[in-house]
């Protein structure tokens, strides 16, 4: 088997985006920039990861006090929804944003600190103030006070605190725009965009949280985070805009593949369906990457193992069944787990979409036996207490058996 065949098909359009569209698509409300507490009881969240916080492990040591520095992000209940708020303090000035988990995109905030323990934050949309946060800051970074709408008709108490566990919120970007042009009866009169992005709180410092967000952005496929797509969705016209045509539907999201005190593994995926002349087009992207929970930096598999090619060969010859070895393993990515290294494909074409993010897991014990792990890896603690596997012992935590 030629193990490098997977690289040749990376740019093939497909990924089974029809599967992703079916799973992710639903007619979103036009809530871009929507301000104020929002009820989320109407439908269950599709890819919200905030529930991870209840099951995720605590950090290895107590977090240092945040004080009134507004250094780290905070979260908590606000008007019946969960809010995530991140601001930066410069002197007495405050600037940042907040969002409602799996409901809104960032809502801009600006304000100031008063008398060291009191603060005022104004939220805005299109330059107009829509609500105000007034409250106090506790020594542990907790913010408490009242949120009041600009017209004074709505008021909600809030307590937003620094999470004691790694907590992942979902910032959601949604558009649902009716086209201004004539639309034939067999076409949708709407252009839709619905994308979800992870926001991580509960890390040791605000700088690590910000580094984490930079890492996520840099390693998320461009097709998922592309701002040109937002621009063309807003335009929502039939003419050929920058070669895209009319964008009909864009979806994007993420999934937490693994999380412990060492590493967070994220899967990201997205697709855009657009008209181009008489023929529609489908563009997609998918990825999987590992982030160091202690630093917020990317963990690369080539820094963890002696040879990526040897690891790939070992995984596909030792931990895949006959059908698995016969298939192309398209655009492989690696995940660092508690018990071993997972190998998955991320670039399959439409007809192999069911194989997305599937693959074997090879034990650290077997990789130590084969001399494949580097002892100076930043998170070598993952296998520090593991002994090399005995000769003849199976290397597989799980065997890949494609459906």
What region, left, alpha or beta, does residue 272 occupy, with left being phi > 0 and alpha being psi -120 to 50 degrees? beta
Residue closest to 286 by CA, chosen among 2, 24, 1: 24
pLDDT for 58 beyond 60: no
What is the pLDDT at residue 187? Answer: 61
SS3 state at 245: coil
Q: Are 346 and 333 in contact (CB under 8 A)?
A: yes
Give tens-digit pLDDT for 269-287. Answer: 888 877 655 566 667 778 8
Residue closest to 338 by CA, chosen among 399, 268, 397, 294: 397
Q: Where in the chain is the domain with CATH 2.40.128.120?
A: 52-160
Q: Is 83 exposed, middle or buried (0-12, 13-18, 19+ CB in 10 A)?
A: buried
Return the number of other C-beta atoms located less than 10 Å from residue 303's C-beta: 12
pLDDT for 44 beyond 60: no
Tell if the pTM clears 0.75, that is, is over it. yes
Cα angle value 135/61/377 (rounded, 5°): 125
pLDDT for 82 beyond 50: yes
How far apart, in whole angstroms, are the C-alpha atoms of residue 260 and residue 277? 48
pLDDT for 385 beyond 60: yes
Q: Are 338 and 258 in contact (CB under 8 A)?
A: yes
**How high does pLDDT run on average in the chain?**
79
The contacts of residue 358 (CB under 8 Å, 6+ apart) are 344, 345, 400, 402
DSSP per-residue codes, 315-382: HHHHSB-HHHHHS---SEEEEE-SSEEEEEE----GGGGGGTT---EEEHHHHHHTT-B-TT-TTGGG
Q: How confident is the model at residue 6 (pLDDT cuts 50, 70, 90)?
A: very low
pLDDT for 370 beyond 60: yes
Q: Are 96 and 86 in contact (CB under 8 A)?
A: yes
Report the share of the chain in percent with pLDDT over 70: 72
Return the number of other C-beta atoms located less than 10 Å from residue 57's C-beta: 12
How far apart, in whole angstroms, are the C-alpha atoms of residue 205 and residue 162? 10
Each residue of 118-155: b (16+ CB within 10 Å) or e?
A: ebebbbbbeeeebbbbebebbeebbbebebebbeeeee
More confident residue, 160 or 344: 160
What is the pLDDT at residue 221? Answer: 78
pLDDT for 308 beyond 60: yes
Give tens-digit pLDDT for 174-212. Answer: 988 877 665 566 666 678 889 999 999 999 999 999 999
Q: Is 250 exposed, middle or buried (0-12, 13-18, 19+ CB in 10 A)?
A: buried
DSSP per-residue codes, 38-60: ---TTS--SS--TTHHHHSPBPS
Q: Does domain 52-160 match CATH 2.40.128.120? A: yes
């Amino acid at each position: 088997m030629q193990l490098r065949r997977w690289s040749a098909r990376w740019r093939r359009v497909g990924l089974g985006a029809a599967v992703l569209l079916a799973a992710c698509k639903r007619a979103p409300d036009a809530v871009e920039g929507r301000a104020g507490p929002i009820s989320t009881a109407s439908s269950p969240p599709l890819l919200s990861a905030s529930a991870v916080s209840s099951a995720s492990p605590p950090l290895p040591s107590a977090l240092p006090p945040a004080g009134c520095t507004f250094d780290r992000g905070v979260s908590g209940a606000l008007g019946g929804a969960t809010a995530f708020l991140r601001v930066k303090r410069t002197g007495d000035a405050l600037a940042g944003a907040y969002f409602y988990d799996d409901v809104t995109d960032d809502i801009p905030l600006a304000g100031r600190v008063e008398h060291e323990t009191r603060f005022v934050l104004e939220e805005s949309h299109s330059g107009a103030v829509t609500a105000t946060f007034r409250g106090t800051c506790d020594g542990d970074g907790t913010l408490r006070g009242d949120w009041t709408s600009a017209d004074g008709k709505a008021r909600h108490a809030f307590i937003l605190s620094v999470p004691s566990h790694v907590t992942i919120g979902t910032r959601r970007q949604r558009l649902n725009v009716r086209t201004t042009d004539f639309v034939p009866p067999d076409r949708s009169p709407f252009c839709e965009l619905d994308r979800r992005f992870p926001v991580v709180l509960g890390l040791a410092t605000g700088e690590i949280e910000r580094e984490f967000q930079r890492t996520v952005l840099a390693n998320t496929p461009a097709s998922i985070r592309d701002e040109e797509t937002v621009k063309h969705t807003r335009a929502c016209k039939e003419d050929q805009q920058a070669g895209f045509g009319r964008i009909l539907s864009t979806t994007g999201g993420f999934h937490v593949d693994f999380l412990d005190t060492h590493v967070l593994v994220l899967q990201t995926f997205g697709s855009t369906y657009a008209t181009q002349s008489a023929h529609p087009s489908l563009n997609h992207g998918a990825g999987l990457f590992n982030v160091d929970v202690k630093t917020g930096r990317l963990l690369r598999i080539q820094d963890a193992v002696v040879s990526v090619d040897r690891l790939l060969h070992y995984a596909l010859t030792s931990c895949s069944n006959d059908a698995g070895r016969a298939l192309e393993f398209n655009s492989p990515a690696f995940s660092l787990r508690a018990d071993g290294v997972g190998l998955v494909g991320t670039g399959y074409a439409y007809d192999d979409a069911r194989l997305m993010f599937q693959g074997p897991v090879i034990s650290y014990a077997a990789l130590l036996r084969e001399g494949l792990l580097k002892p100076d890896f930043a998170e070598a603690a993952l296998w520090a207490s593991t002994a090399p596997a005995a000769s003849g012992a199976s290397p597989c935590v799980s065997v890949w058996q494609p459906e």
